Structure 1
C-alpha cells in the first residue's frame, strides 16, 4: 500500500481581484507519496506557485480538501497551521526570505530555536557545512552572493529535518552555475533527510531530475 504524504481532493483557490473574484486553481486532485520528488511545471500564471502554497498551508483552499501527513489543512486555523508547518515542512522561496539582521548561522538556527531544539546551534552549523558554507556562518545576507543566500535558505529549510520539502523556483534568481549547484544540493539534502520533495520550476533540467512531473495549465492538472 502506498504511503501518501500530500493529498489534494478537488482543491480550489479563488482570490479577490480588482475586477472581482479570480479563479486561480479550478479543482486539483493529486496524491504525492513518501520520498517522492515531484516537479510542478507550466506557463507563468498557470497556478503552480499557488498550488505549492496550498500544500504548505500558506494559502487556504476556497474549496475541496488538502491533506498533509494525514492532517486536514483546510480544517486548521492559522495558529494550528503554523505549528504543523514548524514540525513537518521546510519551504524554500525564490527570493530567499532570510532575516537581514541575522547571520547565516542565526538564520539556520532560527526555526530550531523556535521549536525548542536543544542543540540548535550545533545542528545549524552542521547544515551550513553540508551546503558548503561553514566559513560564512558569521556573515549577514547582504555580505553573501545570491547563490550563497539560497544555500543558507536551503540549510534553514532542512535543519528541522522536515518530512516535506517545498521549493518555489529555487534556482529562479540564480545564474546557470549557481542554479546547477543548488539543484545538486536540493536533491542531495532530500536524499540525506529522506524528505518528500515538491518543487515549482520553469527549468526543464530541474524538472527532469524529479521522479514525476505534473503540468499545470489554467489552474488544472494537464492530462
Structure 2
C-alpha cells in the first residue's frame, strides 16, 4: 500500500484552562490513505472535532507527531501551515463561516485569488454550479437559506481541488433532506478530484457510508485504526 496521506503517531492534545491542564486526546495512532473516506464517531466531548483540527494543522499536537501530505505539521510555522491548507485541504464546518460582506461567488473566489489563481472567478462559478447554487452567485449569505450557505461553503472547500477534505458535522444545522444532498456532494468530491474525506458525525448511517469508521471514547481510539 502507498504511503499514507495522513499519519498520526501517538498524537496527543492538551490545552490550558483556568482550572489547569485539560487532556483532550491521548496517544492517537492512525493512518489515512489517499482517496479513503473515514468517519469519526463517538459521544459528545470524546475529541472528534479536536482530532480533525490536528489533522488539518488547525491545532498543534502537544505530544507525538502528525504528518499530512508529506509534511510534519509540528515542524511547520503558521504561514507554512496556512499555505498547505489553502492549496491542499478543504474544511467544512457545521457553521458555514461565510464572509457576510461578500457574495457567494466572492466567498468562493477570494481564497483562490489569494492563492494566485488567474481563473479564480471562473473556477468559483463552476463550483457553485456543481453544488446547485450557480443561480445564487450574486447573493449575500443573509439572502441564502442554511442549505444554500452550506453549499457555498462546500464549493469554497472544493474550489482548490483539494487532496483532503475535513468535514465537522457538516449537516448539523440542516434538515434531513438538505443534509443528505450536502453529504452526497461531499462524497462526490472523491469522484471529481480524488479527494480523501474525513468526516465527523453523530449519524451512524452516514458514518456507515465511509470506507472505515473510527470511534473515539474519552480522547482515545475505540477501534483498530487499520480496520
| TM-score, structure 2 as length reference | 0.97
Q: Give aligned pairs, total.
A: 223
How far apart are 1:204 and its partner, in Å? 1.4
- Residue 215 of structure 1: aligned partner: 215
Using the TM superposition, give the Cα deviation of residue 190 of structure 1 relative to its aligned residue in structure 2, in angstroms. Answer: 2.7
SS at structure 1 position matched to 2:135: helix
Report the 3-state secondary structure (helix = DSSP H, G, I; strand = E; otherwise coil) of the residue aligned with 2:112.
helix
Could you say which residue in structure 1 is the equivalent of 2:8? 8
Aligned mates of 1:155, 1:54 — CA distance in 2:
23
**Which residue matches 1:67?**
67
Q: Within 5 A, what are the aligned runs for 1:193-204?
A: 193-204=193-204
d(CA) in 2 for partners of 1:204, 1:173: 17
How many angstroms does 1:189 deviate by?
A: 2.3
Alpha-carbon separation, structure 1, partners of 2:192 and 2:153? 17
State the alpha-carbon separation in 2 of the partners of residues 208 and 130 from structure 1.
Answer: 25
Distance (whole Å) between structure 2 residues aligned to residue 30 and residue 107 of structure 1: 34
Aligned to 2:135: 135
Aligned match of 2:24:
24
* Alignment partner, residue 186 of structure 1: 186
Written as runs of structure 1 = structure 2, the 5 A alignment for 1:1-223 is: 1-223=1-223
Q: What CA distance in whole angstroms lies between the structure 1 residues aligned with 2:17 and 2:189?
A: 38
Q: Distance in 1 between matches of 2:182 and 2:135?
A: 18
Alpha-carbon RMSD: 0.8
CA displacement at 1:86 relative to structure 2: 1.0
> How far is the alpha carbon of 1:110 from its aligned partner?
1.4
Runs ≥4 in structure 1, deviation > 6 angstroms?
Answer: none
Q: Show CA shifts across 1:90-131 (max 9, x none).
A: 100110100000000000111110100010110000000000
* TM superposition shift of 1:80: 1.1
SS at match of 2:46: coil
Structure 2 SS opposite 1:11: strand
1:22 is paired with a residue whose SS is: strand
Segments of structure 2 that go 5 or more residues without pairing to the other structure are: none
Structure 1 unmatched ranges of 5 or more? none
Find the aligned partners of 2:167 and 2:75 in 1 and give their Cα distance. Answer: 24
Instruction: Give 1:18 shift.
Output: 2.4
1:138-185 deviation per Cα after TM superposition (whole angstroms, max 9, x unaligned): 000000000000000000001001111110100011111111111111
